[in-house]
Amino acid sequence: MAADNLGPAAVSTTTKYNAPNPAAGHGPSLLLLGAAGLGALVLMRRSSAASTASTSTTTTSTGSGSYSPSLGVPGAPVELQQVGGTATSVTVECAAVTGATQYNWYQYGTNLLLATSPSNVAVIDGLQTNTGYEVYCTAVNINGQQSPPSQPLLVTTGAGSPVVYVNNYGGSGTGSSQTTQPAPSTTTPTQPTLPTGQTLAMAANPASPTTSESTTVTASSTALATYLSQVTSTGNSAPSVSWQWIIRSPSGSVAVNQTLTNTTAQSQETFTPNSAGQWAVTVTCSVGGRTVGQGSIGVTAAVPYTPPANPTNPNDYPSVQPNQPFTPTNLQNPIYKLPSGVVHIGAEVGSQARAQTIARANAVGEGVSLPGLSAAEAGKVVSIVKQHGNAVSGVLPNGVVQLSSTASNAEKVSLLASGAPVSIPGRSAAYVAYLQQLAKEGKLKGVTASGTAIT
């Protein structure tokens, strides 16, 4: 801001200070100084600064701040003074420091950054009227090296009495009294550095949605979170963070291209992948036009499986769908896949469909679960179907296989001789046992379509 009748001309300043409200309290203590006490304290500060200046290397102030950068750390600023002010601001100045390209002004006791300026003159704005503040200054060279802090300077806004004096180290008084004041910290305040070149952490939930459900993708940066915490810990507001989201469909077309803003280290975007395949999600994070980092993730969408209402063909069953989850909706379907990948065949499934499903599961290497049978018993049934598939027309819920009337005589005899539990439509269990015995003895040559033995 431009300051009228405040001394040096053309001051370029960035102010970052929101003053406290004296009526609401200022921390540990307040010191009320009358005009005489305030003047004495200002003179004391200036005298101290002048004494220090005699042993410091400085150059004549021109108010421009344009100097060749130094290879070394700049010296601490000296000869601090208030050269102007209004009801809510003060104009401060120090002797120009050789090699300095920027001057930072802080509140003494809190190290809160109040203003920055490319010259040795700065305006600190946003202050309370009729209030005294202690400030100090550091010089920064072109390489970003910051000098040790100067001695503190007491500045005041507006005019009138009494003056509310804000400090942060205890003590109070009125009139011309004053408290003993500590020396400024020898630790130069460090400013947080914005992280760049980061790889954003990416996660999708669910990671593999169907084309009819939405998924939420989260992008975050731990380094950015640390930076924002450091910024707010100095009393400054967190900067605006931009998140550019670009989401491409499996065909490569851009489905989403938008920029979200917040003041946190995390952003989320929810979308519905309406076509099967892999969707590519890319996020770019930036602060103040500077890129913090990028991240990407692939989200694979699948067409949701809908069980047939009245399944008749084994190709309709989930056994041909890889990795189908076991969900409550599958309970309505007699054939479904368990989380382990095993195909469950309900007791209500027809014998022919059961045999066909077992054969298909065998072909793709999937296990089979048959209600009422142990895993070992179900395994035997699966083995029979695998070895004698052409001779098996169906499998009953109890694991008994039905002899196919269309199989060759050799295939029929082989199944009967295996000792597997077999049934023949229209024939009693005793007659089937008789045929099995003939087959084991090598006396059975075949079985007619009606189930009669050929010897």
Are residue 152 and residue 19 in the same domain, yes or no? yes
Highest average pLDDT, of 46-60, 152-166, 241-255, 432-446, comes from: 241-255
Which of 20-24, 252-256, 398-402 has the weakest average pLDDT? 20-24
Are residue 287 and residue 326 in the same domain, yes or no? no
The CATH number that applies at residue 136 is 2.60.40.10
**Mean pLDDT value across residues 92-100:** 93
- Among candidates 129, 124, 130, 139, which has minimal Cα distance to 70? 139
In a domain, 124, yes or no: yes
Per the structure, the complete domain to which residue 64 belongs is given by 14-167
**Per-residue three-class SS string for 48-106:** HHHHHHCCCCCECCCCCCCCCCCCCCCCCCCCCEEEEECCCCEEEECCECCCEEEEEEE
- At residue 81, does pLDDT exceed 90? yes
In a domain, 358, yes or no: yes
The CATH number that applies at residue 277 is 2.60.40.3880
Total domains, the chain: 3
**Mean pLDDT value across residues 423-445:** 89
Tell me the pLDDT tens digit for each residue of 263-308: 999 999 999 999 989 999 999 999 988 899 999 999 998 876 555 4
With a CB cutoff of 8 Å and minimum separation 6, the contacts of 380 are 399, 420
Are residue 338 and residue 396 in the same domain, yes or no? yes
Tell me the pLDDT tens digit for each residue of 23-57: 333 333 333 333 333 333 333 333 333 333 333 33
Tell me the pLDDT tens digit for each residue of 1-27: 333 333 333 344 444 444 343 333 333
- At residue 69, does pLDDT exceed 50? no
What pLDDT sits at residue 20? 41
Tell me the pLDDT tens digit for each residue of 323-353: 343 333 444 456 766 656 677 777 777 788 7
In a domain, 247, yes or no: yes
In a domain, 97, yes or no: yes
Are residue 328 and residue 411 in the same domain, yes or no? yes
- At residue 227, does pLDDT exceed 70? yes
Are residue 162 and residue 292 in the same domain, yes or no? no
Q: Please check whether residue 324 is in contact with residue 365, taking contact to mean a CB–CB distance below 8 angstroms.
A: no
Residue type, 205: N
- Note the pTM of the prediction, 2 decimals: 0.37
